[in-house]
Amino acid sequence: MYMTTREKTILELLIKTSGRHSTLSMASYLQVSMRTVHRDLKNVEKLLKPFGLQLIQNADKTLQIQGPDKSVFKLVQELSKIKPVDLSAKERKLLLFLKLFEADEPMKTGPLAKELDISSTTLSGYLDELSAWTEDFEMHVVRKRGVGLQMIGTERAKRTALAHFYLFYFNEELIEAIFQINHQQLKPGVHVLHYFKSDYLSTVDQAMKHDLGKLYTELADSDYVSFLIQVCIALQRFESGHPLEEGTGGDEKQNSHEKEALPFIKKISGLLSDQLGIILTDSEKAFMATLLKGSRLQSAESIYFDQVITGKAIKKLIQHISQQLQVDLNSDFSLFQGLMAHLEPSLFRIRKDLASFNPLTQQIKDQFPVLFKITEQALKQVFQQIRFPDDEVAYIVLHFGSALEQRKQMRKIRALIVCPTGIGASKMLAARLRKEMPDLYSVTVASIHEMGHMDLNAFDLILSTVHLPKQKIPCLFVNPLLSQEDISAIEQVTHDLAKSGTDAELLPERIVSSPEVAGQRSLQQLMDEVDQAQAAIRGILKAFSVIQVNKAEKMNDVLIQLIDTCFDQAIIDDRESVYWRLIERERMAGLAVPGTNMALFHCRDKSVRHLCFKIAHSTEHFELAAMDGKTCSVSNILLILAPDPLNPVAQEAISMISSSLVEDRESTLIFASANEEMIRAKLETIFYRFFIHKF
């Protein structure tokens, strides 16, 4: 089937907004004349006939597709596979961007318009839009009479602008291309979206999977795609003789966050050098490390449990918003974890002036205006020195929206949700499905990466927030916020499945014996988690003690005494391994808690047998680097040791200690008191609260 870009857009509008668009509103949306729309609608009617569908005009002059639900579903599936025979306006703008991006000399307007197959007037309009876009990245499109057009800006700015242009306008196409590459559906040598070499995308993708290890699975899909294409842009630009200017890749005195990411970048660079023969400079690697550390994490459990300062701010944020909404979200540990996982890299991006985009920002503003305003004001109150752009505020709104949705009545439903939009969006979509879809009886959320390793035969329906290639089972493209049109489309498909009598009958009252239902635990899982929580808490309380250290010359002497005590109590097997792991952690970033006399030392190590929390009170004070980058006078050394690996329930339990250190003034004074009896009572209160909220 062949169709133009405009015809495909009209069909998609008619399907998603049936009965809402008239010829006039379509013309306004497409920015063409009504005469053009009328001509396109005649072709649309011809395209609908093979599906047994027809285009009708209602009494209010709105347009609607009429026909069997099954036929509409077939049309939706067919549209997802069709590539229009002409270029869309955004593709022509992309080609214009690429022409200016790759040109080292000014380009003449006439030949450029002819090459893009557009008029000079259209070219002028595109240039105005492109100029407005690039100015946000400190770049300028210069137009000089008699000279031509040229894009002026640093190499870093050019790369960043191009990457974000792709992510903003071609995000779904990028995800689909990566999916096709992973399934060997694209031939080597093909240029993806007019620029990316498919073999480069494939090599970088494999390198990231191979060398990023666990971090690869924790990156949010959107940030994984962002990092992947920016690495490809760097490779292709560097190979074409356009390296980063010296000193722009990253500060020589990198902070601990960037240093932490640099080993991963070096591993990836080594593999790329072997396979593609491209040897990147230190400046290029440093810039990539900055990009990697600015990425959001997909797994809330992957956050470090010692980020006390950020944790305190997040608790204040939740408290502010709870008060404004008159809904108590303070005990929602899932919300706290999700915000912790998101805000750490978010704050990093804002401080580094790394632009972040959110294609749902306007829709979130329109759909949740009150929540958006409340969140925006709360962020200003809690993070007074930081200005959050609207795109970042919108992401945070999704987390709170998800938490509010989870509080509503949920039903067991069945479907596979493929969501690359992050934690908050996927949880919100799952929650709304449980509420809105009574014909489904279970729901499982997975990323695109996880989907490739799943048995899709276990599901009857796939709901995806991005376009996916054709699957063996019905697959619908839906909005992460689940609009009314999406609900209608899903209801049509589930209705057809129920009537078809397939082996996947959708019974609303069916009892589900599988423990795989998202958000629900089987009895065995619940008992296992209770056992894990009990074991973790009992171990922490049993090992806890306050040690008095007199006249220590150095802080390391205090640390050694703590480690020796743990070794004598058979908590650890290897003193040296734990000691150097703690010292290495201290070198990465300050561990002193600002405004207190405490420092929180911690690590995970294979030689640690079980969770341990101890405090050493020194008669001497030591000047240590604090978590806020300053220094503190410390006399109390708090030590948390954890096995590696550590189960999620145990991690939640131990994280309660670090988050409670600065929960309030009373908690701070108790932990800084060196009074073992008082601190033990506080720990018991913390764990009692944790146990009640958890189970």
The H-or-E segment that residue 635 falls in is strand 631-643
CATH number of the domain bearing residue 429: 3.40.50
Specify the CATH number for the domain of residue 603. 3.40.930.10
Within this chain, do residues 147 and 170 fall inside the same structural domain, yes or no?
Answer: no
210 pLDDT more than 80? no
381 within a domain of the structure (yes/no): yes
Domain count across the chain: 6
Which tokens go with 411?
A: 């039903």
Residues 575 and 459 both lie in one domain: no
DSSP string, 441-493: ---EEE-HHHHTTS-GGG-S-EEESS-----SS-EEE--TT--HHHHHHHHHH
Amino acid 537: pLDDT? 93
Residues 586 and 608 in one domain: yes
Give Cα separations from 530 to 488, 521, 527, 641 (angstroms): 40, 12, 5, 21
Which phi and psi angles does 409 have, rounded to 5°? Answer: -60, 125
Question: What does each C-alpha distance from 386 to 349, 352, 399, 464 come to in angstroms?
Answer: 11, 12, 19, 34
Model pLDDT, residue 561: 92
pLDDT score for 252: 43
In terms of pLDDT, which residue wins out, 413 or 26? Answer: 26
CA distance 59 to 51: 24
The answer to whether residues 548 and 678 belong to one domain is: yes
Average pLDDT value for residue range 616-635: 86
Q: Considering the entire predicted model, what is its pTM? A: 0.49
Q: Are residues 139 and 169 in the same domain?
A: no
Sign of CA dihedral 229, 231, 235, 238: positive
- Encode pLDDT of 456-492 as tens digits: 877 878 887 666 777 777 788 776 556 677 787 887 7
Q: How far apart are CA 511 and CA 681, in angstroms?
A: 44
Domain that holds residue 475: 416-500
Q: Which of 322-326, 387-391, 449-453 has the lowest mean pLDDT?
A: 449-453
The pLDDT tens digits for 508-525 are 333 333 333 334 567 888
Arithmetic mean of pLDDT, 22-32: 81
Q: Which carries the bigger pLDDT value, residue 349 or residue 534?
A: 534
Cβ atoms 335, 329 nearer than 8 A: yes
Provide the CATH number for the domain around residue 324: 1.10.1790
pLDDT, residue 546, reads 93
Do 173 and 148 reside in the same domain of the chain?
A: no
Q: What is the pLDDT of residue 430?
A: 59
Q: What is the DSSP letter of 302?
A: G
Residues 6 or more apart whose Cβ sits within 8 Å of residue 220:
295, 296, 297, 298, 420, 422, 423
Mean pLDDT, all residues of the chain: 79
Q: What is the dihedral angle through the alpha carbons of 156, 273, 198, 265, rounded to the nearest 10 degrees? A: -50
Please tell me which residue, 384 or 467, carries the higher pLDDT value. 384
Tokens standing for residue 506: 């959708």
Do residue 147 and residue 165 come from a single domain?
A: no
563 & 654 share domain? yes
pLDDT digits (tens, 9 = 90+) for 118-158: 888 888 888 998 888 888 788 889 988 888 999 999 998 89
Same domain, 346 and 422: no
- CATH code of the domain covering residue 24: 1.10.10.10
Residue 591 CA to residue 599 CA, distance in Å, equals: 5
Q: Do 390 and 433 fall into the same domain?
A: no
Q: Among 458, 454, 448, which Cα is nearest to 415's?
A: 458
Return the minimum-mean-pLDDT range out of 230-239, 414-423, 575-584.
414-423
Q: Is residue 511 part of a domain?
A: no
pLDDT tens digits, residue range 257-312? 455 667 778 888 888 888 888 888 888 888 888 777 766 554 444 444 445 677 78
What percent of the chain shows pLDDT beyond 70? 79
Half-sphere exposure of 543 (CA within 13 A, CB side): 29
